[in-house]
Amino acid sequence: MTVYLLKRLAIALITLVLASMVVFAVLEIIPGDPARLMLGMNASADQVELLRNQMGLNAPLPARYLHWAGGLLSLDFGRSYTYSVPVIDLVRERIVVSLPLALIALALSTIIAIPVGLFSAGRHGRAGDTIAMGAAQLGVAVPNFWFALMLIYLFAVWLRLVPAGGFPGWSAGIWPALKSLILPAIALALPQAAILARVTRSALIEVLNEDYIRTARAKGLPYRAVLWRHALRNAMIPVLTILGLQFAFLLAGTIIIENVFYLPGLGRLVFQAITQRDLIVVESVVMLLVAAVIAVNLLVDLSYAVVDPRLRSRQ
Amino acid sequence: MSLLEIEKLSLTIGDTPILRDVELSVAPGEVMGLVGESGSGKSITALTVMRLLPWAARATGHVTFDGIDILAASEDQMCALRGDDIGMVFQEPMTALNPVKTIGEQVAEGIRWHTRASRADAEDRARKMLDRVGLPAAQFPLSRYPHELSGGQRQRVVIAIACALKPKLLIADEPTTALDVVLQAQILDLLRDLVAENRMGLLLISHDLAVVTEMAERITILRHGEVMEAGDTARTLSEQLHPYTRQLAQASTHVPARPRTHAVGQDNPLLQVAKPLLQVDSVTRDYPGRRKSLLKRAAPIRAVDDVSFSIDPGQSVALVGRSGCGKSTLARMVLALDGPTSGTIRFRGQVITGKSEAELKPARRDMQVVFQDPYGSFDPRQKVEKLVGEPLHVLENKPTNTERREMVAKALHEVGLSPRDMDKYPHEFSGGQRQRLSIARAIITRPKLVVADEPVSALDVSIRAQILDLFAELNQKLGVAYLFITHDLTVARAITDQVMIMHDGKIVERGRTSEVLDHPQSEAAKALVAAAPDLHRAIARRLQEQG
């Protein structure tokens, strides 16, 4: 178990370092000079050169990487080129929107997907299964921004239950803040829930053919109890894998959804920073997202061992 | 009065009739043997009693258990019966337990469900039941997981689950088929004791006549979903009035005719000078022990321990031992699929240990393998021509397409299949035919040695007899030597000249097959011989008991 844990941890750390190199390199390759952008088109070459020196843009590449990566470790992300404030302040402001959004969406998609998967697997091949999986197919196919617009139209414009966009801030109270997150969370969660429901269903159907399901039935457990007690946990490994991968999609999905709902989250920050060539902000936020995804997948790896005792005793 | 009474049971799945007018009864404290070949409807009959049928199945007739009309009972009533009054044990112990739950949880679950006992009480009873089936608390605490147990131990857990609430009827569907003979004898003893203790009725389903004869007072013989014959076991099997009963009995004790058995060296001076085909010299194979922590590993496990033997050309040798004794590891090394930790293996005088794949090519041509499972060893998406012709790529001169088809046709003909079968897919063949295909694949390169790993243990008795005949015939015709790996002494007796008994990685006894099996010397051989069910002996014993 310890060996398994250490191995996973080591893999996560190596991935993080490699990812940081890739992020740094890619943004170096992209054309566009941040110094020129900050000073405007009328600035002289000398002025630009001066600023480049000040910003450390003329230092050799490895030195700049080390400087940047070292900063990340001490949570010093540098200063934004456009806003001239520490990146960490920008991130702190935005993460209180994005993280709750992603977590609510993740929870929603799990809460929807697992019961639907159980329902469908329990009625494998019958009408209920066909209808549920048809709906899931639709959920996978419909893009989330279109879905977001429909939600806005229905719940905000027509029923006037929630705001159509914007975020009042947590200082306005928990309920108003949650109210403005609920539609974006649904829009993010539904396509993910559709995928997850299909995975849950097929994993369950496979498990339901196993001999131990028959043993459980022969004990006198009703079908529903067998499904919950014996099948679900065995079907969890593929479901957890997909759940981990989905977290990355949820984070990426926030870029679109935050724009649709006009939410001041990390997604919008990245989007704006890219258009403004605010490389330092892009790098930092992307690295933050990468770290979050790696952390979640590490958690998923560890949860395999919780679910399956065979992994615990193997090395 | 009977505990279980099946009358005129017919069953269809979709439009396919599975059972027709099946009659069967089990009295309290009685063992009823249900015998038949695969597809005869034995398991479906059992599942009907449990009402665990596939949903497309439609049953008519009467199934009465303890006064309850099973076919008309509600699902709730059935749930109350299952696991409480009727217990069931299945064939495959390796997969019958939920891998993510402890054995304690799994035994206690049924107890809690039916008796509403508290967790502590249920665990207490589960503990007692596990003790009863021979899994004492010291070695097998409730917190063990199935993967930490062997097949025989897992089957004991399954029996503990089935018998935890002292059911009136136990249905055991091939409970020992996947186990070696020694474990089989232990599990059968356990079942017999449980029947005697609780006056439990036992419906024992098996394809093995000898097992059923040892266990059951009465027997029902099923074929194609119909009862062929039913009655007192000893009388039915000794009189063999029904032709199918006779056929089954003969097939179970079938010995292929082998006019030219391979003589042992001493008897035949001609062969003494001949070089052995295969020579294994003090071969040892260690597997690394389980890692205990980051830096510490348990001592390595010695799977094969200083084994030496040789096989002459054309000789048929059995390698017999219990599961886990190292016989499959040894076979893998003979086939150069695995390298020994120390020792050398020579094939036709050439050392084959520690060689690269390219250097092994000539040896590969001359040794082939037949596996146990005729279902698992073929790619379902390939045609027979491709599958049987697979080993041809090791030939020095790659055959042309026409040559290839000719060779496949010839090999198919030799194993009793039609050359027309070349363009079919594996699923179009029955289990026995598929085993013929794997034999065809094995002989197509005209090998000098065929290693057969339990080649008939997945087959029904009559098919098994045919395949044994085929092996015998090919041995005579092509002079191919065999290394038969088996735990079944009847198979060893039927087809081999010599037998080697393997135990804990060592070969503990070797000699003429009939001599070793009739007068075993080593403890391991004695245990195997004593545990092996024998139809004639079992019938004789039953007749004697009845006077």
> Looking at residue A107, which CATH number applies to its domain?
1.10.3720.10
Least confident of B263-277, B351-365, B521-535: B263-277
Q: What is the pLDDT of residue B256?
A: 86
Q: Does the residue A63 lie in any domain? A: no
pLDDT tens digits for range A111-127 = 999 999 999 998 888 88
Determine whether the interchain pair A211/B92 forms a contact, defined as Cβ–Cβ distance below 8 Å: yes
For chain A, how many structural domains are there in total?
Answer: 1
Q: Does the residue B399 lie in any domain? A: yes
Q: Does the residue A204 lie in any domain? A: yes
CA distance B203 to B210: 16
Is residue B12 very low, low, confident or very high in pLDDT (cuts 50, 70, 90)?
A: very high
Name beta bridge partners: B4: B26, B65
Q: What is the pLDDT of residue A314?
A: 61
Is residue B261 very low, low, confident or very high in pLDDT (cuts 50, 70, 90)?
A: low
Q: Are B370 and B451 in contact (CB under 8 A)?
A: yes
Q: Does the residue A203 lie in any domain? A: yes
∠ Cα A169 A170 A175 (to 5°): 105
My answer on whether B422 and B344 are in the same domain is yes
For chain A, the straight-line distance linking the first and the last C-alpha, in angstroms and rounded, comes to 6
CA distance A152 to B531: 75
Q: Is the minimum CB–CB distance between B294 and chain A shorter than 8 Å?
A: yes
My answer on whether B203 and B347 are in the same domain is no
Q: Does the residue B242 lie in any domain? A: no
For chain B, the straight-line distance linking the first and the last C-alpha, in angstroms and rounded, comes to 26
Q: Is the dihedral of CA A95, A98, A103, A104 positive or negative?
A: positive
Closest CA to B375 of B38, B48, B79: B38
Q: How many angstroms separate the CA of residue A9 from the nearest CA in chain B? A: 14
Least confident of A100-104, A235-239, B193-197, B270-274: B270-274
My answer on whether B225 and B304 are in the same domain is no
pLDDT tens digits for range B369-419 = 998 777 777 888 899 999 999 888 888 778 888 889 999 999 999 888 898
- Whether ipTM exceeds 0.85: no
Q: What is the CATH classification number for the domain harbouring B504?
A: 3.40.50.300
Q: Is the minimum CB–CB distance between B75 and chain A shorter than 8 Å?
A: yes
Domain limits for position B66: 1-80+168-179+190-209+216-229
Q: Does the residue A67 lie in any domain? A: no
Q: Does the residue A131 lie in any domain? A: yes
My answer on whether B284 and B353 are in the same domain is yes
My answer on whether B471 and B537 are in the same domain is yes
What 3-state DSSP class applies to B501? strand
pLDDT tens digits for range B48-104 = 999 999 888 999 999 999 999 999 999 999 999 999 999 999 888 888 999 999 999
Domain limits for position A201: 88-313
Determine whether the interchain pair B92/A310 forms a contact, defined as Cβ–Cβ distance below 8 Å: no
- The alpha carbon of residue B34 and the mean position of all alpha carbons in its chain are separated, in whole angstroms, by 18
Q: How many angstroms separate the CA of residue A307 from the nearest CA in chain B? A: 7
Q: Does the residue B479 lie in any domain? A: yes
CA distance A117 to A231: 12
For chain B, how many structural domains are there in total?
Answer: 2
Helix%, strand%, coil% for chain A, nearest 5: 80, 0, 20
Determine whether the interchain pair A310/B147 forms a contact, defined as Cβ–Cβ distance below 8 Å: yes
For A218, which of B83, B92, B290 is closest by C-beta distance? B83
Q: What is the pLDDT of residue B266?
A: 45
Q: Does the residue B107 lie in any domain? A: no
Q: Does the residue B446 lie in any domain? A: yes
My answer on whether B377 and B297 are in the same domain is yes
User: Is pLDDT at B272 greater than 70 in this prediction?
Assistant: no
Q: How many angstroms separate the CA of residue B147 from the nearest CA in chain A? A: 7
My answer on whether B69 and B202 are in the same domain is yes
What residue of B is the nearest CA neighbor of A223? B79
Q: How many CB pairs (< 8 A) connect A and B?
A: 88
Q: Does the residue B113 lie in any domain? A: no
- Tokens describing residue B7: 């009358």
Q: Does the residue B18 lie in any domain? A: yes
Percentage of chain A exceeding pLDDT 70: 98
Q: Does the residue A101 lie in any domain? A: yes
CA distance A80 to A98: 19
State the pTM of this model.
Answer: 0.83
